[in-house]
Structure 1
């Protein structure tokens, strides 16, 4: 495949969590950072340029080659519409981009990997049908006509590159954790109990994720034994109306050898509209986690990274993984319970301390801070999701997504920052 040179945007910004083999290397020159990724135009719709971007929903370091990374798109350019979303490019395929930082300190694209179903056919970002991971969202074309569904469709949000050359990807539909070959062909799909996708399962309660707020972050522990996934926001357990603890979200671990899962509570600083996004490992028990809101950083947005530790946190799986509402306290779900009630029951969330505030540290101006990779030596790679350069105009149509500080169209940007 033809190689492209992309100037690197500073301080690295990659997402996702992989093992910690990609420690800071004096042979990798990050001094040209920051820079934004230059992208071609994917499509022009009503005078709005939809860029061939989106590589920031998730990212991961190459497990053995320092200075090489993988970034992944989500389901594709879209805007809110009616009881669902307009998919602006219906045949868009969620894609992995493999790149390296070359000797000139620029990004050199090695190849693109389109995700495929088990038969080797490219998937789409269309929602799953009922029984296969549906969120209840309806997909519409740009003209408002109803689109179909895709059994293997994915709203991909995070990626892990394993040492055997395969990839693990999590998403916001099912939520699914999908294992892909080095060429992007689906090998296994792990979903909540009751979702019709294979034999290894996540606990049933995870099917109650909010639409478009599924498994936003995922990483692999440095020993290669465990996947660790973060849910973006409070789940609707037992229902949207009754899930009143809007600062509670969950972390799930999946043992790759045994399929055993554990669940932990995470206490957000913000509320229902804020997000827990990517996660990257420092050790097998300590991680870095994103908390953000939906505002641009340059207008007072929340863009923070916290160190968390699972060591003394309580496993809140309960005794019945098929229970759709999960563990309960005095007849109430965890999402119905206050933190005082949770503490009284002897359940401890993960511990957390602030690692870096990107707004105060570097004047971070993007809204969707969605990717981090720990590089070792207190260096953190950071990446934003540019939404393909489009935003919702409030009437179900796209408009150009401009940064308020500069007025320029938002594009994927890489940073490297020091953390505490």
Structure 2
């Protein structure tokens, strides 16, 4: 792993799905990194400095211009509260930032793109209402008052920049895959069968994602034909109590021309509290995937990248995509079945080998390692989500998110490493 540490500020859950082995990064000047993005204060809440960060929930490389990237925020600064979340800035609009590494090696913002509904009005990160992708979460303001919902609200987690100038974004509500034009206006919203958005659909079973653990990663195959999405954790299929295989999560592919989907099993190293966060392509069948826990890397956190291959893995779609519990084995859902039972039924997960352990290699400090972009030639750009510089104090209020190793407020950081 090359220790060209690029602490670029948390912008990037880079899901770069358009780079391949031939990508030449020789002319991009990364030598000045680490380097922070130009963050300012979004607001100050009871002495807590909330930065206009968050650009690490998702990211992608520009499909044709080397050294340029797009990064995206999630639903905005928030903390856990009661049976839901406090959204500290209720009118916050999930936003894409387009930036480049210029000839001097500095981070240069090109523009910001706010996401908008089909009428061109800015959306929010408020939850969707029932029938439109609701996770059952209640949104509260900072003072504890109940907020409303947003039909087009998005908890965005990944982004793909297509060669036609449009964007594909996945989220943790629906889960939705949303197509936006170059100005951020919604063109199409793809959701599970039974969720009242759009005509093209994901299998119904994906509506059983856990709250705040939806489609955390997504990329596009280098041929531009297929989106590949990763679910963050084991889904509640058939229910939270019965989904006992906590190392099983799913990958879904979506053929952009036909709308056909396929599903694959992914076996996590960790368990229910760990996350599969981002995915970036090496080829049309081989990908890199993040696995992480919620701890800071500097205090023993799990921050790994695996090389996976869909070839040889079983398509576990089943014959009825409208079935809310999906395919079953011996009368049990996949999430109820042990790996031994699944193997006995001939259902094989994707193959995986370790590409890099960031804690062992770099002493990686951040908790939310959420973005990767494959740059070609076994080089990988990695990014963290800084949560707008705030964390939860345990009582439903924000506090400054502090890195335990440096004692500084967490901000998005980019590294470049060599992988196996």
Using the size of structure 2 for normalisation, the TM-score is: 0.97
Please state how far the C-alpha of 1:21 moved relative to its aligned partner: 8.2
Distance verdict in 2 for CA 1:6–1:186, change over 3 Å: farther
Kept in 1: contact 2:178–2:188 (CA 8 A): yes
Please state how far the C-alpha of 1:365 moved relative to its aligned partner: 0.2
Distance verdict in 2 for CA 1:257–1:148, change over 3 Å: same
Please state how far the C-alpha of 1:7 moved relative to its aligned partner: 9.0
Asked if residue 118 in structure 1 is aligned to residue 118 in structure 2, the reply is yes
Distance verdict in 2 for CA 1:278–1:47, change over 3 Å: same
Please state how far the C-alpha of 1:27 moved relative to its aligned partner: 1.5
Please state how far the C-alpha of 1:13 moved relative to its aligned partner: 7.2
Please state how far the C-alpha of 1:2 moved relative to its aligned partner: 34
Please state how far the C-alpha of 1:32 moved relative to its aligned partner: 1.3
Distance verdict in 2 for CA 1:306–1:2, change over 3 Å: closer
Distance verdict in 2 for CA 1:48–1:242, change over 3 Å: same
Distance verdict in 2 for CA 1:227–1:167, change over 3 Å: same
Please state how far the C-alpha of 1:399 moved relative to its aligned partner: 0.1
Kept in 2: contact 1:17–1:372 (CA 8 A): no
Distance verdict in 2 for CA 1:168–1:391, change over 3 Å: same
Return the alpha-carbon distance in structure 2 between the equivalents of residues 325 and 354 of structure 1: 31
> For structure 2, which runs of at least 5 residues remain unmatched after alignment?
none
Return the alpha-carbon distance in structure 1 between the equivalents of residues 10 and 325 of structure 2: 44
Q: Give the total of aligned pairs.
A: 420
Return the alpha-carbon distance in structure 2 between the equivalents of residues 289 and 5 of structure 1: 20
SS in 2 for 1:298: helix
Matched with 1:365 is 365
Moved more, 289-298 or 7-16: 7-16
SS in 2 for 1:249: strand
Kept in 2: contact 1:127–1:150 (CA 8 A): yes
Deviation per residue, 1:264-319 (Å, 9 max, x gap): 00000000000000000000000000000000000000000000000000000000
> For structure 1, which runs of at least 5 residues remain unmatched after alignment?
none
Kept in 1: contact 2:11–2:72 (CA 8 A): no
Distance verdict in 2 for CA 1:11–1:147, change over 3 Å: closer
Distance verdict in 2 for CA 1:6–1:58, change over 3 Å: same
Please state how far the C-alpha of 1:12 moved relative to its aligned partner: 8.7
Please state how far the C-alpha of 1:31 moved relative to its aligned partner: 1.2
Distance verdict in 2 for CA 1:4–1:405, change over 3 Å: closer
Please state how far the C-alpha of 1:182 moved relative to its aligned partner: 0.3
SS in 1 for 2:342: helix
Matched with 2:233 is 233
Matched with 2:11 is 11
Distance verdict in 2 for CA 1:206–1:12, change over 3 Å: closer
Distance verdict in 2 for CA 1:154–1:12, change over 3 Å: closer
Kept in 1: contact 2:140–2:147 (CA 8 A): yes
Return the alpha-carbon distance in structure 1 between the equivalents of residues 270 and 224 of structure 2: 32
Please state how far the C-alpha of 1:33 moved relative to its aligned partner: 1.7
Distance verdict in 2 for CA 1:237–1:393, change over 3 Å: same
Please state how far the C-alpha of 1:3 moved relative to its aligned partner: 29
- Let me know the Cα RMSD of the aligned residues: 3.5
Distance verdict in 2 for CA 1:116–1:5, change over 3 Å: farther
Please state how far the C-alpha of 1:128 moved relative to its aligned partner: 0.1
Moved more, 406-415 or 27-36: 27-36
Distance verdict in 2 for CA 1:12–1:185, change over 3 Å: closer
Please state how far the C-alpha of 1:36 moved relative to its aligned partner: 2.7
Return the alpha-carbon distance in structure 2 between the equivalents of residues 333 and 17 of structure 1: 31
Deviation per residue, 1:83-110 (Å, 9 max, x gap): 0000000000000000000011011000
* Over 4 Å off, 4+ runs: 1-13
Deviation per residue, 1:191-224 (Å, 9 max, x gap): 0000000100000000000000000000000000
Using the size of structure 1 for normalisation, the TM-score is: 0.97
Distance verdict in 2 for CA 1:2–1:283, change over 3 Å: closer
Distance verdict in 2 for CA 1:5–1:342, change over 3 Å: closer
Please state how far the C-alpha of 1:249 moved relative to its aligned partner: 0.1
Distance verdict in 2 for CA 1:22–1:133, change over 3 Å: farther
Kept in 2: contact 1:10–1:31 (CA 8 A): no
